[in-house]
Structure 1
Amino acid sequence: MKGMKTFNYTKPYFGLRGGWLTFWITVACGADMTLYGYDQGVFSGVVISSDFLHIHNLEGPSKTTLLGTVTAIYNVGCFLGSILAYWLGEKLGRKNTILVGTTIMAIGAVLQTASYSLGQMMAGRIIAGLGNGLNTSTAPIWQTETSKVQWRGKLVVVEMILNIAGFSLSNWVNYGFSFAKGPISWRFPLAFQFVFIIILFLTTPWLPESPRWLMAHGNENEALQILAHLEDQDINDSFHREIKYSVDYERTNSVSWGDILRGRADEKSGTSTVRRLILGMGAQSFQQFSGINVTSYYLPTVLTTSVGMSSDLARLLTACNSVQYLCFSLIGIPNVERWGRRKLLIFGACGQCFCYIFITALIRYNEMEGYSHRYEVASASVAFFFLYYIFFGIGMQGVPWLYPTEINSLTMRTKGAALGSATNWIFNFMVVEVTPIGIQNLGWRFYVIWIVLNAVMVPIIYLFYPETAGRSLEDMDDYYRVKPPLLVFRDKEAISSKRPERYRVRDEQLIWGKEGIEVDDLTQHIENGDNP
C-alpha cells in the first residue's frame, strides 16, 4: 500500500533506517518520559482514597507525617537511581540500562498495586523510584546520541510534551476511578503504569545502541554500522569524525569525582568546572523551590484541606488543570531559543510568586472563623492555582532540565546532568515530605514559604546566570576559559539571548574543514583556546 512502511525481518532493526529508526527510538524514549509524568501525578489521587488509607492504616491527622513519607520516599529511590545511572550507564550501555530500569520499575509497580501493608507499599515506592531514576537519567542521553543534529531540539520538545501528557493522563485516570468504590479506585491507576512499561519492553531490545557509547568502548565497527543505519547512508568515515574527536577529547580531559571534591577539576578542564556544576544544580533546585510538587503530588489534598472542596470536585479540577498545563507548556518549549533561558526562568519565578501571594491571602481569609465570604475567596484561590501552572509550564518546566547539559563543558556533560538530576530528586523528596505536614500545622502560612523562595530566585538568576541559548558547548567553554566575573548581569554579551558575534567569526575558521589536522592536534587547540 502506498505510503506504508514494510518491514524486512531479515535485516537489522527490521530493515528500518534513517527517520523511521529515529522515530522508534523516540517512541521508546517518549514512553519513558510519559511514564515519568504519569508517576508524578498518579499518587495525588491515591493518597485521598479512603480504601487506600484504611488498608494501610493511614487515616487521621496523626498519620499525616507518615503519609508524606510514603509519598516522598519514591523520590529517594529516584535520587539513588539517577546517581547509579552514571556508573551503570557507562558499563551496560544506554539501552541495557533502560531495560534494567524498566524491569526494576515493573517490580515496584507490582508491589504497589498488590499492596496490603505499609511496608510493602514503601518498598514498592522505593524500588519503582530507583528504576525511574535510572530511566530518566539515561533515555535523554540515548535519544540525543542517536539523533541527527537538526532533529534534537524537536525531539526534546516532543519528550517534554509527553511528560506533561503522562501527568495529565494520571489525573484523568484518578478522576475516572474515583467513582469506583473499594480497592479498584487506587489499584487500577497504579497498575496502569504497565501500559508504558510494556511499550518499553517491546521496543527497546531491538533498537540500536548509542554509537557514541560503542565508540567509547572500542566497538568502532559496530558504531559505524549503526551510524549508517541512523543516517541512512553507506558507511563513511567522514560522518563519524566528530564523534571520534569528542570521545578522544573526553578520554584525555576527563575529570574524576575525586578531582571535583578536592578542588582540582580546573587543573584538567580549565573552565570553571565547579562553578558551572553549581549553576546547573541550582537550576534544577529552582524547579522544586518553585513549589510545583506542592500541587503536582497534592493538589487534590490542597483543594480539600486548604480550600474546603469535596474530593470528587478536587479530582475533577486537578484533571482539568493538567490539560491547561499541557496546553500552555507548548508556548514555552518552542520559544526557549527565541526568549532565552534567563528570561523564561525569571518570567516563571515572577509569575509563580505573584500567584502564591494571592493564594496565601485568599486561603488566609478562607480559614478565618466568622468571615462571611469564605466560599467566595476559596473559589477565587482555585483560579490562581490554575494560573500558577501557566507560569510554570511556560517558564520552569523545561529550562532546569536543559541548563545543566548546556552550562557544563564537554568533559563534564554526563556528570553535570547526573548531579543536576540528583539535585532535582532530593529536593523533590524534601518538598513532598514536608507538604502535608505544613498544610496541617501551618495552614495558610505554609504558602508564604513559596512566595519567599520564588522571589529570591529572581535576583539570583539575574545576577549569576549567563545565557546559554544559541551557544554551543565550545562557546560556553570559551566564555569560562577567561575566568569571567561571578556577577554576569553587567556583561551584555553574556546575558544576550542571541549568539555573540565573536563566536560566529570563530566558526568561520573552524578546524573541522582544514585538512591534515589530527584529533590530538584538535584537542590541543581547544585546550589552548586557539583558532588555528
Structure 2
Amino acid sequence: MKSRYFGFRGGWLTFWVTVACATDMTLFGYDQGVFGGVIVTDDFLNTLGIAGNASLQGSITAIYDIGCFFGAIAAFVVGDKLGRKKTVLLGTTIMSVGAILQITTYSVAQMVNSITNAFGEIVGRIIAGIGNGINTATAPPWQAETSKASWRGKLIVIELILNIAGFSLSNWVTFGFSFVPGPIAWRVPLACQFLFIAVLYGTVPWLPESPRWLVAKGRDKEAEQILADIEGTEVEDPYVQTELSEIKWASDYEKTHHVRIRDLVRGKQGSEGGSCALRRLLLGMAAQAMQQLSGINVTSYYLPTVLIVSVGLSNRMARLLAACNSVSYLLFSLIGIPNVERWGRRKMLMYAAAGQGFCYLIITVLIRYSEKSNFAGGKEVASASVAFFFLYYVFFGIGFQGVPWLYPAEINGLALRSKGTALGTATNWIFNFMVVEITQIGIQSLQWKFYIIWTVLNLSFVPFVYLFFVETAGRTLEDIDNYFRDHHEILVFRDKLATSSKRPQEYIEKENHEIRRQSSVNPRAMSLAANHRRFSTISAEDAGTTGYAPGPEMKVDGSYKEM
C-alpha cells in the first residue's frame, strides 16, 4: 500500500524514524547546554534574585535532572503499555508545558518577589525534565527495534552526535544573545526548544511502531508488515519471516522465564537462570552511570564557570571558548559513526575512558600549579589546561557520548527492553543531578583536588568494561538474547563469543539455515530471497561486522546450496 508512511519504505522509512529520534536527542542536547549560558546571564540572575548565590544557582540548574529522572521512571511505568510512539508524544507534550512555564513565568503580574520567580523557574524546569526523561528513555529502544542490525549502532550514534549538535547550537545561541540586553538574552534561547518540538509533532504520529513491541502485544500481523516495510520487501520474504520467527521465539521465551524486577532484586532468577535479566539490567545501568561519572557534566553545564573560576578567563572569553569547544566536540564525535561497529562497544568505551582519564590527570596537574601562589607562570599554565578540556571532549565524543545510550537498548531482552532502557536513563539522570549539584561547590571548595575525582573514575572504567561488558556490535537483538540464555558467566573477558567485535560465525550460520528453511515454503519466497541478496551488496569483510552474511544460492531445480 503506497499510502502507508506516505509511500516511504526500506532505507527511507528508517531515515524518517531516525529524523524523529535524532530530533528528540538534539532537543535533549540543546536543553542540556542552553542553561549553562542562561545561568551566567545577568538579567536572568537579577530577575530571579540569585546573583551571587552559587548554591541556589546549582540547585536550579540541577533540578532539571531530577525531573528527567522521574520522567525516566514514568517511561518505566507506562512505556510498555503505550508503545514507543505514544510515549514519545506524551513526553513531547509535557516538555512543551515545561518550556512555556520557563519562558513566561516572569510576567509582570507574577514578579512578586525573587522566591516566586525562582519557584516558577524550578517548576518549569522540573516539568520540562519529566518530558525529556520520558523521551530519552524511549527514543533509543524505538530506533533499535526499527533498525537493521547492520545500521542500529550507527544510527543511534548519529542521534547522540546530533545531541552534541543541539548542545553546540545552544552554546552559540546563548553566546549570540549575550550581546542583547534585557530578558531577550535568555528568553529567546529557551524558546528555541519549540523548533524541535514542532519537528517531533510533525513526524512521530505517522511513523511505524516498534515491530518487537507489537509482537510482545500479540499483534504479529502488524509487526510482520512493518518488518517488510523496514526491509523494503514483501511479507513473504524468507528474511522477514526468519526475523519474525526469531522475535516471536525470543518473546515467548522471555514471557516463560520472565521474573518481575522486584523479584530480581531479591535474588530470584527464574527457571534455570532465565535470560540473565538482572545482569543485563545492571550492565545497561552501569553504562549510563559511567557516562556521568566520567565528568562530562562538570563541563557541559558549567564549562563557562570552570573557565572563569578555575582558569581565570573573562565571562565573554569563557562563553566564546565554550561555544568553540562544542564545535570541536561535534566534529570529532563523527569518528564514532563508522567505528562503532568496527571497533565494537567494549573497545570504544575502554579507549575513551583511558583518554578521558589522561586529560583529567593533566588538567589536575596544570590547575594545581596555577593555584600555587609562588608559581610565576600560573596564569599561562591554567590557560594551557584549556587544550586538555578540548581534548577530553574529543575522547568523550568518540566513545562515551553514544555507546552508553545505545547499550541498554541492545543488552536488555524484549520483555525488559523498555524498562531496562528507562532504568538506564534514570540512572544517567540521577548521577547527572549529583554531578551538577556538587560541581560549583567542589570547584570553589576543593579547587584543583576536585579534578582528581574524575581522573580516578575514568581510569577505573577501563578494567571494569574489560572484565564485565558483553559485546553487542554486529549482533541482532535476538543474537544477544541467545548469548545470555546459554552463557551465565559474569566475567567475560576470556569468552570470544562475548568479546568479538564481529558477529560470531555460529549466529550467521544459524540465520542462513533458517532463511533456507523459510525459502523452501513457496516459489515467491524463493524469488524474494534472491532479490534480498542481490540488493544487499555487502562485502565479505563487512558481513561479520554488520551481522549480515550472503544467504544460500538457489539451484535450477529450486534447491539451495551455500554460497
Alignment TM-score, normalising by the size of structure 1: 0.88
Residue in structure 2 matched with residue 36 of structure 1 by the alignment: 28
CA distance in 2, matches of 1:15, 1:406: 29
Flag the 1:321–1:312 CA change in 2: closer, same or farther, 3 A: same
**Deviation at residue 493 of structure 1 after TM alignment:** 5.0
CA contact (8 A) 1:266 1:273 kept: no
CA distance in 1, matches of 2:85, 2:172: 31
Residue in structure 2 matched with residue 432 of structure 1 by the alignment: 436
**Deviation at residue 400 of structure 1 after TM alignment:** 1.4
CA contact (8 A) 1:333 1:398 kept: no
Which structure 2 residue ranges, 5 or more long, are not aligned?
107-116, 522-563
**Deviation at residue 293 of structure 1 after TM alignment:** 0.5
CA distance in 2, matches of 1:27, 1:347: 29
Q: Deviations for 1:81-100, whole angstroms, at most 9, x for unmatched residues?
A: 11211332222222221111
CA distance in 1, matches of 2:468, 2:394: 25
> Are 2:138 and 1:138 equivalent residues in the alignment?
yes
Flag the 1:515–1:26 CA change in 2: closer, same or farther, 3 A: closer
**Deviation at residue 411 of structure 1 after TM alignment:** 3.7
CA distance in 1, matches of 2:251, 2:459: 42
CA distance in 1, matches of 2:196, 2:286: 31
CA distance in 2, matches of 1:389, 1:428: 17
Flag the 1:141–1:489 CA change in 2: closer, same or farther, 3 A: closer
Q: Deviations for 1:414-468, whole angstroms, at most 9, x for unmatched residues?
A: 3322221111111111101110111111111111111111122222222333333
Secondary structure, counterpart of 2:338 in structure 1: coil
**Aligned-CA RMSD value:** 2.7
**Deviation at residue 286 of structure 1 after TM alignment:** 0.9
CA contact (8 A) 2:144 2:409 kept: no
CA contact (8 A) 2:93 2:131 kept: yes
**Deviation at residue 104 of structure 1 after TM alignment:** 0.5
Secondary structure, counterpart of 1:300 in structure 2: helix
1:102 paired residue among 67, 92, 95: 92
Give 2:454's aligned amino acid: W
CA contact (8 A) 2:58 2:436 kept: yes
> Are 2:77 and 1:87 equivalent residues in the alignment?
yes
Number of equivalenced pairs: 507
CA distance in 1, matches of 2:200, 2:470: 37
Flag the 1:459–1:56 CA change in 2: closer, same or farther, 3 A: same
CA contact (8 A) 1:269 1:411 kept: no
CA contact (8 A) 2:64 2:129 kept: yes
**Deviation at residue 235 of structure 1 after TM alignment:** 5.0
Residue in structure 2 matched with residue 524 of structure 1 by the alignment: none
Give 2:98's aligned amino acid: G
Residue in structure 2 matched with residue 454 of structure 1 by the alignment: 458
**Deviation at residue 226 of structure 1 after TM alignment:** 4.5
CA distance in 1, matches of 2:328, 2:348: 19
225-234 or 449-458: bigger deviation: 225-234
**Deviation at residue 301 of structure 1 after TM alignment:** 0.6
Q: Deviations for 1:304-349, whole angstroms, at most 9, x for unmatched residues?
A: 1111111111111111111111111111232122222222212111
Secondary structure, counterpart of 1:179 in structure 2: coil
CA distance in 2, matches of 1:25, 1:498: 26
Flag the 1:479–1:30 CA change in 2: closer, same or farther, 3 A: closer
1:78 paired residue among 52, 56, 68: 68
CA contact (8 A) 2:251 2:414 kept: no
CA contact (8 A) 1:356 1:448 kept: yes
Residue in structure 2 matched with residue 5 of structure 1 by the alignment: none
CA distance in 1, matches of 2:201, 2:310: 42
CA distance in 1, matches of 2:486, 2:10: 41
Flag the 1:338–1:516 CA change in 2: closer, same or farther, 3 A: closer
Residue in structure 2 matched with residue 404 of structure 1 by the alignment: 408
Residue in structure 2 matched with residue 185 of structure 1 by the alignment: 185
Give 2:28's aligned amino acid: Y
**Deviation at residue 174 of structure 1 after TM alignment:** 1.2
> Are 2:39 and 1:47 equivalent residues in the alignment?
yes
Flag the 1:90–1:277 CA change in 2: closer, same or farther, 3 A: closer
Q: Deviations for 1:12-46, whole angstroms, at most 9, x for unmatched residues?
A: 44444444333332222221111011111111101
CA distance in 2, matches of 1:379, 1:139: 39
> Are 2:48 and 1:56 equivalent residues in the alignment?
yes
Q: Deviations for 1:365-395, whole angstroms, at most 9, x for unmatched residues?
A: 2222243212211210100100111111112
Residue in structure 1 matched with residue 163 of structure 2 by the alignment: 163
Flag the 1:451–1:515 CA change in 2: closer, same or farther, 3 A: same
Secondary structure, counterpart of 1:181 in structure 2: coil
Give 1:135's aligned amino acid: N
CA distance in 2, matches of 1:44, 1:152: 32
CA distance in 2, matches of 1:154, 1:264: 36
Q: Deviations for 1:169-215, whole angstroms, at most 9, x for unmatched residues?
A: 11111111111111111111111111001111122223333344344
**Deviation at residue 363 of structure 1 after TM alignment:** 1.5
Flag the 1:52–1:79 CA change in 2: closer, same or farther, 3 A: same
CA distance in 1, matches of 2:436, 2:516: 49
CA distance in 2, matches of 1:456, 1:246: 35
CA contact (8 A) 2:10 2:229 kept: yes
Q: Deviations for 1:217-261, whole angstroms, at most 9, x for unmatched residues?
A: 344454455555545545548635334444444433333223312
Flag the 1:33–1:370 CA change in 2: closer, same or farther, 3 A: same
2:333 paired residue among 316, 329, 335: 329
Flag the 1:323–1:144 CA change in 2: closer, same or farther, 3 A: same
CA distance in 2, matches of 1:311, 1:89: 43
1:117-136 alignment to 2 at 5 Å?
A: 117-136=117-136
Which structure 1 residue ranges, 5 or more long, are not aligned?
1-7, 518-532
Give 1:66's aligned amino acid: L
CA contact (8 A) 2:153 2:473 kept: no
Residue in structure 2 matched with residue 521 of structure 1 by the alignment: none
CA contact (8 A) 2:366 2:381 kept: yes
Flag the 1:120–1:299 CA change in 2: closer, same or farther, 3 A: same
Flag the 1:343–1:446 CA change in 2: closer, same or farther, 3 A: same
Residue in structure 2 matched with residue 301 of structure 1 by the alignment: 305
Give 1:342's aligned amino acid: R
CA contact (8 A) 1:253 1:411 kept: no
Residue in structure 1 matched with residue 278 of structure 2 by the alignment: 274
Secondary structure, counterpart of 1:265 in structure 2: coil
CA contact (8 A) 1:280 1:403 kept: yes
354-363 or 404-413: bigger deviation: 404-413
CA distance in 2, matches of 1:226, 1:273: 27
Give 1:319's aligned amino acid: A
Secondary structure, counterpart of 1:189 in structure 2: helix
1:362 paired residue among 358, 361, 366: 366
Give 1:258's aligned amino acid: R
Give 2:86's aligned amino acid: N
CA distance in 2, matches of 1:511, 1:495: 26
CA distance in 2, matches of 1:461, 1:145: 25
1:367-382 alignment to 2 at 5 Å?
A: 367-382=371-386
Q: Deviations for 1:110-133, whole angstroms, at most 9, x for unmatched residues?
A: 111223300011111110010011
Secondary structure, counterpart of 1:335 in structure 2: helix
2:471 paired residue among 467, 476, 487: 467
